[in-house]
Amino acid sequence: MIVAYDGTDFHGWQKQVHPDRKYLRTVQDVLEKAVVKVMREPVMLTGASRTDAGVHANGQVVSFDANNEIPPDKLVLGFNSWLPDDVQVRHVDFTHNKFNPINHCTSKGYRYSLAHGCSNPLRKPLFDRRFTAFTAYKLNVEKMQEAATHFLGEHDFAGFTKLNHGRKTTVRRVDQCTVQETDPWRISIDVAGAGFLWNMVRIIAGTLLEVGRGYYSPSDIPEIIASCDRKRCGKTMAAQGLSLEWVKFAVDQ
């Protein structure tokens, strides 16, 4: 399945059990309940990316195994009839029974949407405020784009994640990192790679913001990455600006 969602009112993608047994609304839980209703059998969903609380998706890829073979076009209609307004199944298809959207993923693309120069309150997001972060600073987009090129390639991104990240290695490969002004006072930061650390894209965006406002120069980025020091990087930007745009797989998947 290709799934889109407004992550504002979700505690992220993954189902969670809160210590005091309080129900936490997650995309996986809501979607799984809809799938069970239509398939009429137990299912377990696997998502390509464990998006954090408040993060959105246009192209999350999700798989499940089932015995009940229903045509994909009917599944799209059936699943969406049971889903709330902030989740939508956009496509369903059959794949081989060993397919795993996590293990077989070759790259993911994220977009961070940002309004800048918002010391003028009329530039702050209004109708798209759930999907666009903002900053009071007027940003230099050309300097940000120059800085973005230094993220390309394979690096140790230990400084661009939480301290207790729980990953065996913090080495990651970035295939794309671009900054462009999409509309007056609006910026999109696009980052793609094989995989990302917890909050990595949001911290890259926060570091590029510091370049845009003149706190860092583009030439500082290689040293910041090499330092593996979280304190040298920018802040973790707000979740509402981030969206999982697409996930790619090997051709034979």
Query: Percentages helix, strand, coil for the chain, rounded to the nearest 5?
Result: 30, 25, 45
Supply the pLDDT for residue 104.
92
Where is pLDDT greater, at 203 or 252? Answer: 203
Q: Evaluate if residue 139 carries a pLDDT over 70.
A: yes
Average pLDDT of the chain is: 94
| CA 45 – CA 209 distance, rounded (Å) | 36
CB burial of 98-136 (b: ≥16 within 10 Å; e: otherwise) equals eeebeebbeebbbbbbbbbbbeeeebbbeeeeebbbbbe
Read off the pLDDT of residues 147-158 as tens digits, 9 standing for 90 and up.
999 999 999 999
Read off the pLDDT of residues 179-188 as tens digits, 9 standing for 90 and up.
999 999 999 9
Q: Evaluate if residue 252 carries a pLDDT over 60.
A: no
Domains of the chain (ranges, CATH numbers)? 2-91 (3.30.70.580), 107-249 (3.30.70.660)
Helix ranges (DSSP H) in the chain = 27-39, 72-82, 141-148, 200-212, 221-227
Beta bridge partners of 170: none
167 phi and psi angles, rounded to 5 deg: -100, 150
Read off the pLDDT of residues 187-217 as tens digits, 9 standing for 90 and up.
999 999 999 999 999 999 999 999 999 999 9
> Which residues have a catalytic role annotated?
52
Relative to beta strand 133-134, strand 171-183 is unpaired
Supply the pLDDT for residue 23.
81
Supply the pLDDT for residue 113.
98
Q: Evaluate if residue 79 carries a pLDDT over 90.
A: yes
| Closest CA relative to residue 113, chosen from 216, 209, 233 | 209
| CA 150 – CA 156 distance, rounded (Å) | 13
Beta bridge partners of 146: none
H or E stretch at 97? none
| CA 123 – CA 115 distance, rounded (Å) | 7
Given pLDDT bands bounded at 50, 70 and 90, which one contains residue 178? very high
Full-model pTM: 0.94
Tokens of 156: 């140790």
Read off the pLDDT of residues 41-55 as tens digits, 9 standing for 90 and up.
999 999 999 999 999
Lowest mean pLDDT of 31-45, 111-125, 127-141, 239-253, name the range: 239-253
For the chain, percent of residues with pLDDT exceeding 70: 96
Angle at 169 (CA atoms; ends 164, 170), nearest 5 degrees: 70
Q: Are 79 and 70 in contact (CB under 8 A)?
A: no
Given pLDDT bands bounded at 50, 70 and 90, which one contains residue 32? very high
226 phi and psi angles, rounded to 5 deg: -65, -25
| CA 250 – CA 105 distance, rounded (Å) | 7
